[in-house]
Amino acid sequence: MNAYIIGFVVPLVIYLFKNAKSRKRRGLPADVAGDPGFAVRNHRVTSPMTSAWEGVTTLVELFERACREHHHRLLLGTRELISREIETSSDGRSFEKLHLGEYKWITYGTVFESVTSFASGLAKLGHVREERAAIFAETREEWFIALQACFRRNVTVVTIYASLGEEALCHSLNETEVATVICGRKELKSLVNIAGQLDSVKRVICIDNDVPSDASSAQHRWTITSFSDVEKLGRENPIEADLPLSADVAVIMYTSGSTGLPKGVMMTHGNILATVSAVMTIVPNLGPKDVYLAYLPMAHILELIAENLIASVGGCIGYGTPLTLTDTSNKVKKGTKGDASALSPTVMAAVPAILDRVRDGVFKKVNAKGGLSKQLFDLAYTRRLKAINGSWFGAWGLEKFLWNFLVFKKIQAILGGRIRFILCGGAPLSGDTQRFINICLGAPIGQGYGLTETCAGGSFSDFDDTSVGRVGPPIPCSYIKLIDWPEGGYSTTDSPMPRGEIVIGGPNITLGYFKNEEKTRESYKVDERGIRWFYTGDVGRFHADGCLEIIDRKKDIVKLQHGEYVSLGKVEAAILGSPFVDNIMLYADSFQSYCVALVAVSRPALEEWASKQGIAYSDISELCGKEEAVKEVHASLVKEAKKARLEKFEIPAKIKLLSDPWTPETGLVTAALKIKRDIIRKTFQEELSKLYGK
């Protein structure tokens, strides 16, 4: 071939590739009934899928099938605890550090035996199928086994976030009249605290063998049995399975709502199976070679879907915790391995807050090192960013290989070096963090949008879509429809893109809220063709290729005194970029002309600034009260706001600095780290009034 032809052919091929990509339609218009709007479906299917496996209609059938097919493969792995140590830091506080060993694995065959034994044991203990069982524990091997065992007895499982408060725990156990609680030693303590109010609990199955003495059967109305004893009981007294149907309720999942008491969402086997099937089509080539690192709460729908998915394709699941994830995680003993480097997973699920933390950690390290290695990192990062942003063609090839080898390999080692896909959901992921993961880990992120109410169904970005800020087309089991919301100023006839409230429909839509007809009727509707729709309250727009972008939330838009609309979430997202901000809540009073903000400060950043300025203070809360500090942080917020081109009325005019971080334990943010507006507002009522000069 001569140079002329090469010179002609290569650019042509690149041109064709680029255009094929930009023309790729990921979502297509759909013909649906119900409220008028702009509806889209996935390009892979013509109507929503219900199951990816022929003849499989429940999670029980799915798991049984996998166990038959992958009998000798490894399924569940847990790390051995070598030692537990208490380390004391220089300021006298003590921390628990764990020394964990290698993963110990059990096969599909063995897990299946455990599941059938536990199911028989549960029945033998006297649990009948009309009664509900709750699993209240951290993510671990026994969680999965107990879940599958309950399914085999057609027992509905109630799930509760381990970090919910006692009031919420009491409410959910009482509302569902749970008869058997399966929990860990730590959770059993919370149970004991509210034992007086739990009328329905008859049995407690404790996963850990050392049951605390004050939990004993003698003092309470319940009997306590250890997990291994239930298995043993079942092994000696096998009982036939009592299989559920697709329409039977598999799980009642209590979600930490941002207002009031949690609501229990009823999910059928069919609901969960539909999402598991749909997500399988999204992760490329998922199969027995895949290793999944499980550490998110099992009571989070994303984790429930992910573990059932991995266990259906012959992959293996290794358990970890957020506090032992990497070699430098808080609870990992110095010099020993974190979960990710011990496991080397290929697939992970994550919430944005965790990926943000990984990203901040890396940037901090690079900046601290400085010098040549920082320059090299910056150069590599910019080159890769250009390549990914500009052309799809440039995203691969030799240069990528080179930079990976020179710079990014060390970063990839943080998560074990083999990650090939990250499932992300629960909250919007920032474009910066998505790029960081794409570049430094070299792995695509499937960014999902869905709710517990839609069984995590909704949308999911395709692995080959390198754009940021969007959540992809509808997944194959969902329709997504936008409907007009005139008060918010959003319409499906908007240009250049249709906009409106997001409504999700299909077989993945759950039955509704447990014992809450009214709330169910408010948010769910069945159309004339029998499809259920959930009204999300989120506002989105559809790009030309059928990908959804979340732009607002109905509840979070406030109209100011002069009629300007402020989208609280949008402003917060912009301002979070300030180095002084750990978390923030914008507040707008409709009777005022300006907004204010509560800022949970980033202590290290503020302390560093103070020491540079030579400002004396005895503790951080005093520093937060100082006028100079407030001024400095405010200036930094304004800078971020201007960068994001916010309007003047959107920028908080006054702020209050708070020294304590907002963690799920404080109740100010959900377990997925979303802020709970109502609770924060109530907690800091006085501060907010002061900001408005009242």
Ligand X SMILES: *[C@@H]1O[C@H](CO)[C@@H](O)[C@H](O)[C@H]1NC(C)=O
Query: For binding to ligand X (CB under 6 A), which residues are involved?
Result: 50, 129-130, 154, 170, 174, 197, 244-245, 248, 268, 270, 385-386, 389, 507, 509, 511, 530, 532
Minimum distance of ligand X from residue 321's CB (angstroms): 31
Minimum distance of ligand X from residue 334's CB (angstroms): 37
Minimum distance of ligand X from residue 143's CB (angstroms): 22
Minimum distance of ligand X from residue 241's CB (angstroms): 11
Which CB sits closer to ligand X, 387 or 575?
387
Distance between CA atoms of residues 542 and 548, nearest Å: 5
Which CB sits closer to ligand X, 509 or 672?
509
Minimum distance of ligand X from residue 688's CB (angstroms): 31
> HEC states along 230-267?
HHHHHHHCCCCCCCCCCCCEEEEEEECCCCCCCEEEEE
Which CB sits closer to ligand X, 124 or 383?
383
Beta-sheet strands, E only, within 53-206: 74-88, 94-107, 132-136, 157-159, 178-183, 203-206
Which CB sits closer to ligand X, 112 or 381?
381
Q: With beta carbons less than 8 A apart as the criterion, state whether 153 and 126 touch.
A: no
Beta carbons within 10 angstroms of residue 128's beta carbon: 11
- What secondary structure does DSSP assign to 404-467, as a single string? IIIIIHHHHGGGTS---EEEE-SSPPPHHHHHHIIIII---EEEEEE-GGGTT-EEE--TT---
- 3-class state of residue 167 by DSSP: helix
Q: With beta carbons less than 8 A apart as the criterion, state whether 262 and 171 touch.
A: yes
Distance between CA atoms of residues 510 and 614, nearest Å: 57
640: which 2 tokens?
């971020």
Cβ neighbours of residue 356 closer than 8 Å, sequence gap 6 or more: 430, 433
Distance between CA atoms of residues 105 and 316, nearest Å: 9
Q: Is the dihedral of CA 324, 328, 331, 334 positive or negative?
A: positive
Minimum distance of ligand X from residue 447's CB (angstroms): 18
Block residue for tokens 């917060």: 572
DSSP class of 593: S
Which CB sits closer to ligand X, 244 or 546?
244
Phi, psi of 240 (to 5 degrees): -55, 150
Minimum distance of ligand X from residue 385's CB (angstroms): 5
Minimum distance of ligand X from residue 249's CB (angstroms): 7
Which CB sits closer to ligand X, 16 or 245?
245
Q: With beta carbons less than 8 A apart as the criterion, state whether 67 and 108 touch.
A: yes
Minimum distance of ligand X from residue 305's CB (angstroms): 16
Minimum distance of ligand X from residue 245's CB (angstroms): 4
Which CB sits closer to ligand X, 129 or 331?
129
Block residue for tokens 């916010």: 646
Which CB sits closer to ligand X, 245 or 616?
245
Distance between CA atoms of residues 67 and 38, nearest Å: 42
Which CB sits closer to ligand X, 57 or 329?
57
Taking CB atoms, the residue at the shortest distance from ligand X is 507
Q: With beta carbons less than 8 A apart as the criterion, state whether 675 and 583 touch.
A: yes
Which CB sits closer to ligand X, 264 or 270?
270
Phi, psi of 558 (to 5 degrees): -120, 140
Which CB sits closer to ligand X, 163 or 174?
174
Distance between CA atoms of residues 74 and 71, nearest Å: 8
Minimum distance of ligand X from residue 48's CB (angstroms): 6
